[in-house]
Homo-oligomer: A and B are copies of this chain.
């Protein structure tokens, strides 16, 4: 749906225009302040004039067609006014009224459905209901209901929020500039996906900032992320719902089901979206990106401050936020030694001492030396930009940064203050003008620096993406869930090209012995050992009932094992349907890894890899990616695990064959995509990984029927 008439209207009408405090009055005040005369009309049946401007009694009385109706009146009047506005040509509407889906009652939901139907009938793009409107700073259009002091807020960040209160909290913050500010309200008619798509296409928007509670059309959402990713337009998203509590709250707020939060994480990671934890981080990350002339070209930071104390803080916060301080070259170290005072030590992070903050030339020289080092992609300057205290350092530092910023070889710079609420706002603006964002105080600042550097390190070509034609994205409904037994699960995998160690199902002790001998023969090892396991989809924890017997070396042992297992299974799980006893070659062992597939009905299948065995739930040392994944993504998943140390040769043990584990992950992700309509869940726990390769020791498949 094109929402241009909604967000870029030529002419608008404010219905319910007023001079009182509240939606009607505040919207009129903002409209008059922001829009040119002649582009807006006011309507109120009871008034002839509002703030000195003519007020019509009905939309139908307007002298010309309009594009957008801003409806400030209560819920019961809304549908009639949309009918009238549509008659006058409106293809867009903003509805502030609440009492719709967000109330959570059937009546509310019905009202919203009815409103939606009406909008579809007339081809009206509707923002809200239960919203606070928007400002388009590019074309100077306002339908916004919150009054704020006059100040130039135009800029390059397109901001859309499902919470009006968050928009309000943000508007006041100095140093922010927007292309669009949108309070989207319930966003079930024009959806968050639609706004996102609009901002991705919008050339005046350089960065997109979003407060998101949930997504309606997941395919459209992913398509918009994909498009932004391809054209390298950064997206920063605050999505609450990391905690269970937050998920409850979002559900009761705009009625959004936030879905599995970890899948959002995986999705954002794949598409290079920056996820943040609160509003301040959302604003300052997006504003920092908009302010920087260009993004850093790599992920290594150099940091300077004026004292050892501040430099120590920068060192610690760098480590806490996973930031890599580039190792300075010998040449850089020598050059620094010649520039900073003799009692200071070259290092990264670097204490240049307060004396250099009063010397434009030397300060500029330090910046230049650092930027010349190929192990530095961005420079952070730690200083509090004091407002009240008579300290002229900021003047000298600013002049030095200005000089450097003009150079072709200049690398991105950011400023890091150490206390909040003590910022010289003039210098914030001056620095912004030379592409240097002033970040919030240090703990935020280093989180934001980490966001920027991670974004720079993101590589589109490392990732494999789902084919986004609509059919590929139709995950259908879940029917009946069918669990397979281990043996059936292994067969499911084997049929799809996954190598499974020799195993077969025995239905009698004779057959068990026969399989044992076959496996021994096949392995070419006369001392080969087998394991016997009860096979039943009804017995999930086989070991718990004594249904697994390891290290069988002789026919007698195999025979006894068969009988013992059948006896125990019958005794402990009398209702289980038992397929037989699986006889499988004993694995050589290795590091126990878990591989999983979870097929989200909205976002499609995702792949999990982590330390397996009993530690899965204790350390949650796992990595999750949306399928399909590339080999690089697979290797990245493995390397991101803490258990990577175990795989990579720990305490003198041989390094495991990580390549074959990565191949297995890629192959599983391909199966997950091919079988997306059928395969609901897969758990391989464990797959043993050793220096030779991988061996699937147990598997559980759940199918959709």
Is there an interface contact between A173 and B650, defined as CB atoms closer than 8 Å? no
CB-CB under 8 A from A645, the residues of chain B are 617-618
Q: Which residues of A approach B to under 8 Å, CB–CB?
A: 26, 98-99, 102-104, 108, 146-149, 151, 161-166, 168-175, 211, 213, 238, 240-243, 245-246, 248-250, 252-254, 277-281, 283, 305-313, 315-320, 325, 342-345, 347-349, 351, 354, 384, 386-391, 417-423, 440-444, 447, 541, 544, 614-615, 617-619, 621, 642-643, 645-646, 650-652
A316 touches B211 (CB 8 A): no
CB–CB A441/B310 < 8 A: no
**8 A-B pairs in the complex with CB atoms less than 8 angstroms apart:** A240-B312, A241-B312, A253-B309, A278-B313, A279-B419, A544-B652, A614-B646, A618-B650
How many copies are assembled? 2
B-side contacts of A420, CB under 8 Å:
173, 280, 420-421, 440-441, 444
A213 to B311, CA, bound (A): 12
List chain B residues, Cβ under 8 A from A541.
Answer: 651-652
Contact A442 B280, beta carbon cutoff 8 Å? yes
| A541 to B163 Cα, complex, angstroms | 60
B146 touches A389 (CB 8 A): yes
Contact between A442 and B279 (Cβ–Cβ < 8 Å)? yes
A630 to B447, CA, bound (A): 38
The CB with the most chain B CB atoms within 10 A, among A161, A168, A309, is that of A309
Judge whether A349 and B245 touch: CB under 8 Å.
Answer: yes
Report the minimum CB–CB distance from A543 to chain B (whole Å): 10
Residues of chain B within 8 A of A242, CB atoms compared: 316, 319-320
Q: Nearest 7 CB-CB pairs, A to B?
A: A163-B309, A253-B308, A240-B312, A165-B307, A246-B315, A243-B319, A245-B315
A-B contacts besides A103-B343, A614-B651, 20 pairs, CB < 8 Å:
A102-B343, A149-B389, A166-B307, A166-B310, A168-B389, A168-B391, A171-B389, A173-B419, A213-B309, A240-B316, A243-B320, A245-B347, A245-B349, A246-B315, A249-B347, A252-B347, A421-B421, A440-B441, A617-B645, A618-B646
Q: Once the chains are docked, how many angstroms separate the CA of A384 from the CA of B175?
A: 17
Q: Is the CB of B240 within 8 A of A306?
A: no
B249 touches A312 (CB 8 A): yes
Q: Which residues of B contact A243 (CB under 8 A)?
A: 315-316, 318-320
CA distance in complex: A413, B590 (Å): 54
Bound-complex Cα distance A262 to B248 (A): 38
Complex: A419 Cα to B175 Cα, angstroms: 12
Asked if B172 and A386 sit within 8 Å, CB to CB, the answer is yes
A171 to chain B minimum Cβ distance, whole angstroms, is 6
Q: Name the contact of A250 in the complex, choosing from B211, B308, B643 (C-beta under 8 A).
A: B308
Evaluate whether A421 and B440 lie within 8 angstroms (CB atoms) in the complex, with A307-B165, A315-B240 already known.
Answer: yes
Tell me the bound Cα distance from A280 to B384 in angstroms.
Answer: 11
**Would B307 and A163 count as touching, CB distance under 8 A?**
yes
Question: A419 CA to B245 CA in the complex, in Å?
Answer: 22
